Amino acid sequence: MQHYETIEAVTFAYGQRHHLEIQITREIAKEQDIRHHILDMSLLGQITVQPDFATIHISYIPDKLCVESKSLKLYLFSYRNHGDFHKNCINTIGKDLVNLLDPRYLEVWGKFTPRGGISIDPYCNYGKPGTKYEGLAEQRLFQHDLYPKKIDNR
Bigger pLDDT: 106 vs 3:
106
Per-residue model confidence as pLDDT tens digits over 124-135: 999 999 999 999
Q: Does residue 62 sit within a domain?
A: yes
Residue type, 7: I
Q: Does residue 31 sit within a domain?
A: no
User: 40 an active-site residue?
Assistant: no
Q: How many Å is the maximal CA-CA distance in the chain?
A: 49
Q: Whole domain around residue 104: which residue ranges?
A: 41-143
Q: Residues annotated as binding site for substrate?
A: 67-69
pLDDT higher than threshold 80 for residue 91:
yes
Write down the catalytic residue from 33, 40, 52, 84: 52
Q: What pLDDT sits at residue 95?
A: 95
Q: Does residue 95 sit within a domain?
A: yes
Q: What pLDDT sits at residue 51?
A: 67
pLDDT higher than threshold 90 for residue 104:
yes
Q: Return the minimum-mean-pLDDT range out of 32-36, 57-61, 87-91.
A: 32-36
Domain with 129 in it: what CATH number?
3.30.1130.10
Q: Return the minimum-mean-pLDDT range out of 44-58, 87-101, 107-121.
A: 44-58
pLDDT higher than threshold 70 for residue 26:
yes
Contact 99, 115 (CB under 8 A): no
> How many percent of the chain have pLDDT more than 70?
67
Q: Residues annotated as binding site?
A: 67-69
Give Cα separations from 48 to 26, 86, 153 (angstroms): 33, 13, 21
How confident is the prediction for the chain on average, in pLDDT? Answer: 78
Please indicate, yes or no, whether the overall pTM of this predicted structure exceeds 0.75.
no
What are the residues facing 110 on neighbouring strands?
56
What are the residues facing 45 on neighbouring strands?
84
Q: Does residue 79 sit within a domain?
A: yes
Contact 144, 109 (CB under 8 A): yes
Q: What angle do CA 26, 122, 75 make, to 5 degrees?
A: 45
pLDDT higher than threshold 70 for residue 47:
no
- Domain count within the chain: 1
